[in-house]
Amino acid sequence: MAAPRTIEKLFHFAFPCRDAEETRAFYEDILGLPMTSCVKVASVPSSGDPGPYLHLFFEMGDGSYIAFFDLGAGETPKPSPNTPRWVQHLALEVPTMDDVKAMQARLKAAGVEVIGVVDHEFIQSIYFFDPNGLRLEVTTRTEPAGFIEKQKREAHGELAAWQRFKKERANPLPQGEGRRGTAG
């Protein structure tokens, strides 16, 4: 089978929202992402599920979008019950550390609780939640020279080691037994 063409970039990421205007105010007025499309739809084109719903899009600097569905019920999306709230998040990149700090100040001035700046050694980030409970990260790259190349070289080995760890954790050896049948 031939390899697929390379996926070029993100077109959009979609998430439900409680209220379209509340979401617009947050993403456009606070984060500075212009709303570029707002469409009321009678039914879902891909599935035929009934609507109506509102689909709105906010454009990022590279031409990709973050989009939202207002389903009209006024309900805040519920987090996954088996996943910590910090796991599911959308990371948005800005050019410099000054931009991260400026966004942090802007969010705090708007009354948004912000965590960080967190130094991850290759990026520095702030974290916060939008009005819909979506965790966002604003980050800038700070990786040392050669970091990305090293990560690429080691990625498959790290994944294999993680898979072994999970397997061992799921199937612990009985008390008194060592690895491969040897005494511990």
pLDDT in tens, 123-169: 999 999 999 999 999 999 999 999 999 999 999 999 999 999 999 98
Q: What is the pLDDT of residues 20-79, one digit of tens each?
A: 999 999 999 999 999 999 999 888 889 988 889 999 999 999 999 999 999 999 998 888
CA atoms within 13 A on the CB side of 132: 26
**pLDDT classification of 178: cutoffs 50, 70, 90:** low
Residues 6+ apart with CB under 8 A from 104: 114, 116, 117, 126, 138
Percent of the chain residues past pLDDT 70, beyond the cut: 93
Residues forming beta bridges with residue 54, ordered by sequence position: 40, 70
Per-position DSSP letters for 10-43, written without gaps between them: --EEEEEES-HHHHHIIIIIIS-PPEEEEEEEEE
**What long-range pairs does 118-125 form, CB within 8 A, spacing at least 24?**
122/147, 124/97, 124/100, 125/91, 125/100
Q: What CATH number was assigned to the domain covering residues 12-74?
A: 3.10.180.10
The CA dihedral of 76, 79, 84, 89, to the nearest 10 degrees, is: -70
- Measured CA to CA, the distance from residue 62 to residue 53 in angstroms comes to 27
Q: What is the largest CA-CA distance in the chain?
A: 68
- Measured CA to CA, the distance from residue 12 to residue 16 in angstroms comes to 13
pLDDT at 96 over 80: yes
